[in-house]
Every structure is written in C-alpha cells, then in structure tokens.
Chains A and B, each alone.
Chain A
Amino acid sequence: MKKIVIFLFASILTVSLFAQNEKYVRNMEKAIQQLDTTKTIEGLQRLANQFERIAAVEKTEWLPAYYQAYSQLQIASLYMNNGQADQLPTYLDAAQAAMDMAKKVAPKESEVHALQGYIYMARIWGNAMVNGPKFSPMAHLAFGTAQQLNPDNPRADFLRGQMYFFTPAFWGGGAEAAQPLLQAASKKFAAYEAPSSIHPLWGAEQNTYLLEQANSQLAEKK
C-alpha cells in the first residue's frame, strides 16, 4: 500500500513536471511561430507580452527573455522604418531589460550575446553621430563574444555582416566589408541544426537578401 502511494505520488510528480515542460514548449512554439509572421507593432507587443509572461514563470529558462528582447527589438525596427526614430529609446530600453534577464540566466550562451550586439547596433540607428562612437565598439565586442562561444552560430556572423553593410564607408563599413561575413553566415545557416524546436532559427532570409545586395553592389563597382 505504502509503495503504491509512493509510486502514485512519484508518477504524479513526474507527469506534472513533464506536463509543465510540455506546456512551456507548446506555448513557446506557438508564440515563435507567430513571431515569424507578425509584422505589426500591436502584434509584436502582444508577443512580447506573452514571452514576458512565460519568462516570469520559467525563471531558469533563457529563451523566453531572449524572445521578449527580440520582439521589442522588432518593434523598434518597425518604428525606425516608419520614420519614428524618437520611439527607439523606449523599446530598446525594454529590449535591454529583457536581455539583462537572459544574460543572467545564460551568461555563456552565444545566441544571447549575438542578440545583445544587435540591440547595441539598434542604438546607433536613431542617432549615429552621437551613439555610434559609444555603441559601435560595444556591438563588435558582443558579436565577437557570440562568435567565440559558438563558432557555428550563423547569427553572430550575419549580424556583424549586417552592421558592416549599413555602416558608412568612412567608418570602415560598406558592401566590401560585409560580404565575407555574410558569405560565412550563409554557409553556417545551411549547416545549422537548432538544439531544440524553440531555439533561435531566424536570420537566414535576411542574410541571403543582404548577401545579394552586397554582391550586386560590388559587381556594379567593377
């Protein structure tokens, strides 16, 4: 009898833990799927909220906070494209707050540092003259760390390539500087296998697009 009770409790515990994990993965998968197709500020805010709720429960997981930061960054980028650069600091501050949480949970995670570099890079969009000198070295440092922690992470090369692509030539950027990185990223994207269904996978399309742009710009020059 005693054994049965212990067995029952043990199995309940396992099942509920498993259920919790399954619930986490299911919710993350659903939200990540939406992230790929959501292109509005309201939609992205909804997703950021959802990741924030998951992050608040799953305090030992870095992925919810990572995606929360990523969603906020996407909002900032939409505002940038709409010509509302004055909105950037609000959303980048929010992205950075989530990033700080992700870093706390997984300080040695390559993906986290790559995204950190991306956030620093976004700081430059709004006011390159003022923020460039400060954030440009910080972004490069973060991309370098991401690269060191996982040399196969395609996003580290892609993001650094993207940064060079949009950096004016007088600051040492341009298509020529970007091309080798985007090419390297392209190979790594092809070879990349995500450790789980909810690990970051984004960036391949943008990388292909930028590489084409860089190639055609360089071809024009010749």
Chain B
Amino acid sequence: MKAFYLFFCFFPALLTAQTMIQGQVTDPSGEAIIGANVYLQDTYDGASSDLDGHFSFSSEERGAQTLVVSYLGFETYQDSLTCNTTPLNLTIQLQPVANELTEVVISAGAFEASDERKGVVLNALDIVTTAGATGDTYGALNTLPGTQTVGEEGRLFVRGGAASETRTFIDGLLVQSPYNSSVPNIPARGRFSPFLFKGTMFSTGGYSAEYGQALSSALILNTQDLATESLTSISLMSVGASVARAERWDNSSLSVSGGYTNLAPYTALVKQNIDWLKPVQSFDGQVIYRKKTSETGIFKANLSSNRSWFSLRYPDANDIEQLNDLSLTNDNYYANLSYRELLNDKTTLFSGIAYSLDRDRISELFNVRTDEQSLQAKTTLSYHASDAVRLKTGVEYLFGQFDQRFQDRDEQVFETDLPEHYAAAFAEADIYLTKGLVARVGARGEYSKQVDNWNAAPRLSMAYKTGENAQVSFAYGQFYQNPEKDLLRYDNDLGFERADHYMANYQWINNNYIFRVEAYEKRYHNLVNYTNGKAWEASNSGNGHARGIDVFFRDRKSIKNGDYWVSYSFLDTEREYRDFPEASTPGFASKHNLSLVYKHWMPQLNMLIGGTYSFASGRPYDNPNSPAFNAERTKAFNDLSLNVSYLRNIMGNFTIFHFSVTNVLGFENTFGQRFSALPNDNGVFSSTAIEPPAKRFFFVGMFMSIGKKYDRTNPEN
C-alpha cells in the first residue's frame, strides 16, 4: 500500500521530466522551410519552424514516439524517436509534392484550356472573349500557334495539314460533322457552343494513342458536368435569338435550349460581297442531361438537332462570270451518351456511344443529296498502377454509312454508297522514370473495312523537367486516316494516308507567364495521288512534308487588368498529291502566321474590351492561264478585330451586352482567284477574286441569366 502511495507521489515528477526536441526543416536544396508543423503524433507537443527553419519544443512524453513534420506543398514526414529526457537535435528534409505547375507533363503539341487545372494555356472564358473569334471555338483556337488562317474556309488548318486532317472529339468520341454546312468559299463555323465545354485540349501533333483517324491534329472537348444552378438564359442577337432553361436537382440536371438564327435583317443592313437570295437561317434545339450515379460516377447525355438553309447567286463552275441560283439545306442530328465511374481506387471506366446524321441538299444546275451517318461506341479503362505507372487502354467500333446522289447539269446521275466498319484498340502507359522525367508509350491498331486495310501506329512522347518552371518535351508518332469520301467513291483500292510527326518543345510556365517554343517535322506518306490528273485512277503514291516553328507567349501580369498573348508560326510545306503535277505548297498553307490577342478588364466600368490582330502571309494558288503550277500568291491577310462586353444588372438579372466587329481598319482582304473550269472563246480561263462574305462583320448581342433570387430583404429566409 505504501508503495502504491509512493508511486503516486512520484508520478507527477516522472511526468515533468521533459525531453527537448529541436532542429531544422529544409527543402531538398537546403533552403529553410518557414512555418512547418513539427509535432509528436497524438500529443499537443510541437512547434512551427521559424524564419531560419529552426524549431524547438519540449515534451513530457516518454518512450517511443512518432515525430510528424508537415508543410503545405510538401510530403508529410514521419519518423519514430525515443523520448528519454536526452535532448534531440534533428535535421529534417521535406520532399515537395508534385503539383500541376511544377510536375512534369507531356506538353509537346498540346494546348489545354481548362478552369480546373493550373498551368493551362487558356481557360474556358478565353474562348468566348477572344476578339475576332465571334464566339466560335475554332476561331479562338486559330489565335494559337500551329494554325494557319484560311479566311474563306473558317475551319482549322494545322501545321500544313488540310482542314479534314483535324478531327474533333466530344467526350472522347469522334464528331463526324463538327462544322455547319457550307459551300466552297463561304466560311463555316463550329456547330457547338463553347459554353458546353469545361475543358478543351487542342493538339497540334503527336497526340495520344487514344485518338486516331486524324493526320494532323485532334481537338478534344470535354463537356460540363452538372449545371451549377437552375437558370433561365435569354439571348437576343443581331442575327437571332435563343432561350435556355437549366434545372438542377441534388444529383442531376437537365438543360433544354432552342434558338433561331436569321441573317436576313443583318445582310440587308450591311453591304455584302455575296449576292444572297435567302441569307442563312437556322433552327436548333438541344437537350443536355446529367446524372451523378454515385459519389464518383457520372452519366452524360447530349442531344442536339439543327436545320439550316440558305440560297445565293453562285458562280458557274464552267464560266465563273455567270451566276446561278444555289441553295443548300442541311439537317443535323447528334447524340452523345457517356458514363464514367471509378471501379475502385485505381481503376476508372469510361464508356460512350455517339450517333450522328448529317443530311445535305444542294441544288444549282446540278443536284447533290448527301446522307452521312455514323454510330460509334468506345470503352476505355484507366489504371493507376502506382505513382510511377499509369495505364490506359480501350477499344472502339464505328459503323458509318455515306450515301450520295449527284445529278449533273446534263441530268446524268452518279451514286455513291460507302459503308464503313471501323474497329480500333489502343494501349498507353505513362511512366515516371524519375520525378522529373516522364515517358508516354502507346500504340494504336485500326482496321477499316472501307479501305479493307489495317494499321498499327506507335506513339511516343517524353518530357523532362529542366527547372522549377521549365521543361523540354519530345514526341513522335504515326498517324493514319482514311482518304476523304470524294476520293473513295471510285473503285481505286486506296489505302490509309499516313503522317509521321517528330517534335521538340520547350516550355516555361508559372501563374502569370507562359512561354513555349516548338519545332516540328511532319512527313506525309501514301497520300492519294491522281494518275495523269484523273481522280478515278488514283493511288497512294503521294507524299509530302511540313516543318516549322511555333512560338507562344502569354503574359497575365505586366499590365494591370490586362492580359495578352502572341502566337507566331513559321511553316515550310510541300506535297505531291491529288492533282498536283509536281511537289508544291498547297493553297491552304501560308509561311508566316501571327496573332496578337489582348484583353482588358475595366472594373469601374464593368467592361471587358478585347482586340485581336492577325496576319498571314500570302498563299499559293494556281493560275490555269500560266504554264507554271501554283505560281501565284494571294495578298497577305491582315485583320484587326475588337470586342466589348459590358456587364450589368437588369431587374436583378445578370446581363451581358456584347458588341464585336471584325476588320476595324478595313483591310482589303482577298483569298486568291476562282477560275472557270473551261476556257472562254478567247482560250482564257476567266477569273474572279475570292473575297470575304462582307468586308466587316458586326455583332450585337444581349445575354441575360435569370437565376434564383437569394432573398436579401428578409435575412430570415
């Protein structure tokens, strides 16, 4: 009993026997870490490191303890130690956690626009606020390096590739008809509103084995998740109106929208270079449904339909000076359903299905009816094997049907019926060889019934961190694509066209500045080549190359409330293909392209103003009156576009007024000459200049969001 009391008398004394723990916390380079939390696990005992990284505290704990050292942006350090009143002096080195700005990423060829990730080139808002793009995703991407301005097309031309060599993917699935329907020399626009997407990955080459059937470029768009709140949006524009309603529930959301576009009032007001009979009109409707199927799973459905039509006076192909009535009607239906779920900690499943129907009716002296359908299914599995190895693999299948009935002016009928069964599989591994060195190794195999051929394409990219903000990357890959439909219609036994990409990239990036420079070489093989100028006797004997340098610089900091980027692309390309009698630079390729984009936010005025200057050097075209092939050059292209967005509150509703105008300075841009297919009586191929549809394009719009009002007059609610 005495011993028992004795024990209690000494107990406090035992407790007060303290162990002094002190030391220093540093990063791997030996720099002091200030404010690290140093403590014994499951006790109150601890301290923060001071300005020199030093810490010191004492503990009454005895025996084996666990020391924990933690600091933001660093891996938490744990070690066991023994407290026995002997002072401890420790030096602790913390390892930085890889984050999005400092970790090594594969950047060769890739431009990313996202709000959720740091260290991206653009955010989603940049796409809609870029002057000159008039709210078109493709227009905004045209201010990035690697793209060529081709004013009469409006589509994306990447690194000496034709527009058809760039393919668009929505939620991983190929989009068959990403642009609205048009006729040659009337620029097209993208079908899909940039507001649909939360992230955009624009690859100018060397992209992942997940994507195929694109010789030059992949544009990968990821749709928004659940709508954030219930909202009605009304848009009134100089070219039409639309209304949308989004409804948000706990785990799902539904948006329904519809719009009508009519360019007639506008074209009546502003002088046009085109002799419109019925300017463009369209109806479109869209349904977007989202459901969170679990904490980690999401189901997405996008359905859209569109009908557009126009008619105009159009130059006769045989005699360019004669104009005929041409009309075009297009119907487009698109459905994209996808499901993503985390199967376990390490495995993500994605499954998607897309259906597209595009129907064109063109009538002039000739008649064309084109029906194009595709149904695609794809499944991928991503597996996070370890911090050092991530795997992705997938399969896809596409069924396509292309039907065309062409009736020429002599009422002769040509019918094309091109079914397609396409299957592909890919596998890819991201391997972190060290913290600063990552390799992506992949391969893709494809079979196409249309060309009755298969291919296996290797892809390889590497990135190496050369400094905290700097890295170099390299990429190599083989890319295959089926020849275009107008070439496949003849029974020629054509195979895949192929491009090999080689590229090297240097990137320096922090929160405020981005600098990138990239050099590339692209070699084309097996391009479709006409025999003696005859398309119906073509073979895969064509080839070509494209090489160049792309430079990009963005600065968000130097000008207060200002933000600008500069893109420059140098391109040297030639190919021998199609009807080219010799190797030559194609008509869509310009040697020099420059874009300067500026945005300025004026908080006092609630205004965002922006300007974009674009320059493209002349492009070649062929004058059939001269013996030399492709010897003429178009004038250099110049454009300065401006836009203003003014934000205000109208009856409690957030409203944006938007005004934009292209070609403010009135440059006289022409895109070359259009020649008659047949010589006139004097033996001359007559010609007219190809001009933009109008010298300038003005746009005025009002966008109002009518959301739920938070009751502020009665704070009790």
Binding site for B on A (CB under 8 A): 23, 27, 41-42, 45-46, 48-50, 52-54, 56-57, 86, 89-91, 94, 129-131, 133-134, 137-138, 140, 144, 147, 151, 157, 160, 164, 168-172, 177-178, 180-181, 184-185
Rounded to whole Å, the gap between the CB of B510 and the closest CB of chain A is 8
Chain B residue at minimal CB-CB distance from A137? B229
- Interface bits B85-127 vs A (CB < 8 Å: 1, else 0): 0000000000000000000000000000001001000011100
Q: Say yes or no: A180 contacts B44, CB within 8 Å.
A: no
Q: Say yes or no: A53 contacts B715, CB within 8 Å.
A: no
* Residues on the A chain within 8 Å of B73, using CB: 90
Q: Say yes or no: B649 contacts A170, CB within 8 Å.
A: yes
Q: Say yes or no: A46 contacts B649, CB within 8 Å.
A: no
Chain A residue at minimal CB-CB distance from B650? A170
* Residues on the A chain within 8 Å of B228, using CB: 133-134, 137-138
**Assembled-state Cα–Cα distance A96/B47 (Å):** 23
Chain B residue at minimal CB-CB distance from A134? B228
Q: Which of A45, A49, A134 has the most CB of B within 10 A?
A: A49
Rounded to whole Å, the gap between the CB of B243 and the closest CB of chain A is 19
* Residues on the A chain within 8 Å of B716, using CB: 147, 151, 184
* Residues on the A chain within 8 Å of B608, using CB: 129
Q: Say yes or no: A170 contacts B44, CB within 8 Å.
A: no
Cross-chain contact of B46 among A53, A138, A160 (Cβ < 8 A) = A53
**Assembled-state Cα–Cα distance A185/B652 (Å):** 23
Q: Say yes or no: A181 contacts B715, CB within 8 Å.
A: yes
Chain A residue at minimal CB-CB distance from B713? A180
Q: Say yes or no: B512 contacts A49, CB within 8 Å.
A: no
Q: Say yes or no: B46 contacts A90, CB within 8 Å.
A: no
Chain A residue at minimal CB-CB distance from B11? A12
Q: List 6 A-B contacts (CB under 8 A).
A: A50-B46, A53-B37, A53-B39, A53-B46, A90-B72, A170-B648
Is B345 among interface residues, defined by CB-CB distance under 8 A?
no
* Residues on the B chain within 8 Å of A171, using CB: 647, 649, 654
Given known A-B contacts A130-B123, A170-B647, A184-B715, A54 and B48 have beta carbons under 8 A apart: no
Q: Say yes or no: B44 contacts A57, CB within 8 Å.
A: yes
* Residues on the B chain within 8 Å of A144, using CB: 710
Q: Say yes or no: B713 contacts A140, CB within 8 Å.
A: no
**Assembled-state Cα–Cα distance A23/B45 (Å):** 12
Is B534 among interface residues, defined by CB-CB distance under 8 A?
no
* Residues on the A chain within 8 Å of B709, using CB: 172
Is B34 among interface residues, defined by CB-CB distance under 8 A?
yes
Rounded to whole Å, the gap between the CB of A149 and the closest CB of chain B is 13
Q: Say yes or no: B43 contacts A180, CB within 8 Å.
A: no
Q: Say yes or no: A180 contacts B715, CB within 8 Å.
A: yes
**Assembled-state Cα–Cα distance A147/B601 (Å):** 35
| Residues of chain B from 494 to 539 with CB closer than 8 A to chain A in the complex | 511-512
**Assembled-state Cα–Cα distance A52/B72 (Å):** 12
Q: Which of A53, A144, A168 has the most CB of B within 10 A?
A: A53
Rounded to whole Å, the gap between the CB of B649 and the closest CB of chain A is 5
Q: Say yes or no: A46 contacts B35, CB within 8 Å.
A: yes
Chain A residue at minimal CB-CB distance from B230? A137
Is B6 among interface residues, defined by CB-CB distance under 8 A?
no
Give the 9 A-B residue pairs with the shortest CB-CB distance, closest first. Answer: A45-B35, A49-B37, A86-B511, A184-B715, A46-B48, A170-B647, A170-B648, A137-B229, A170-B649
Q: Say yes or no: B648 contacts A57, CB within 8 Å.
A: no
| Residues of chain B from 211 to 228 with CB closer than 8 A to chain A in the complex | 228
Rounded to whole Å, the gap between the CB of A135 and the closest CB of chain B is 9
Is B655 among interface residues, defined by CB-CB distance under 8 A?
yes
**Assembled-state Cα–Cα distance A222/B394 (Å):** 66
* Residues on the A chain within 8 Å of B601, using CB: 129
| Residues of chain B from 112 to 159 with CB closer than 8 A to chain A in the complex | 115, 118, 123-125
Is B42 among interface residues, defined by CB-CB distance under 8 A?
yes
Chain B residue at minimal CB-CB distance from A94? B72
Chain B residue at minimal CB-CB distance from A59? B42
Q: Say yes or no: B35 contacts A53, CB within 8 Å.
A: no
Q: Say yes or no: B712 contacts A45, CB within 8 Å.
A: no
Rounded to whole Å, the gap between the CB of A9 and the closest CB of chain B is 11
Is B293 among interface residues, defined by CB-CB distance under 8 A?
no
Rounded to whole Å, the gap between the CB of B72 and the closest CB of chain A is 6
* Residues on the B chain within 8 Å of A23, using CB: 44
Q: Say yes or no: A89 contacts B647, CB within 8 Å.
A: no
**Assembled-state Cα–Cα distance A49/B33 (Å):** 14
Cross-chain contact of A57 among B36, B43, B118, B229 (Cβ < 8 A) = B43
Chain B residue at minimal CB-CB distance from A54? B44
